[in-house]
Amino acid sequence: MSAELVMLGTVGILGATVGLSAASTAINDEMVEFSHAIRSLDQSYHIEGHQSCRAWSASSSYRQQDVAASLADLCGQIEEAEETIDQRSHLKRQAPPTSKELRNKMDAQKKKNKEKKKKNEA
């Protein structure tokens, strides 16, 4: 009986793993297609103005930058940000103080406070 349960559990776990892997791949592919669709949207527009006897409205237009040019700008900004992060990562990081160092620092601070109080009293 226990061997059968182990066998069923193993088959179930393997099936779930394969199923989740397939679902993950399918979701990733759909997200990539969606991102390409969003990227290819063109938001350019032009509205003609209207003029009649006593009224008029101005025209309006917007021309979106080419997708390739905007991607190049975006990639350039990302590279600059990565370079900045790399430059900051070269800075030395100090190890946190040990408890003994902290105690010594606190004791020194207490001594300074006592000396200030004595000077204020005098």
pLDDT of residue 14: 93
Question: Is residue 50 a contact partner of residue 56, using CB atoms and an 8 Å limit?
Answer: yes
The pLDDT tens digits for 1-13 are 789 999 999 999 9
The pLDDT tens digits for 80-117 are 888 887 777 666 666 677 777 888 888 898 999 888 88
Angstrom distance (rounded) from CA 50 to CA 61: 14
The pLDDT tens digits for 31-89 are 988 988 887 787 888 889 888 888 888 899 988 888 778 778 878 888 888 888 777 76
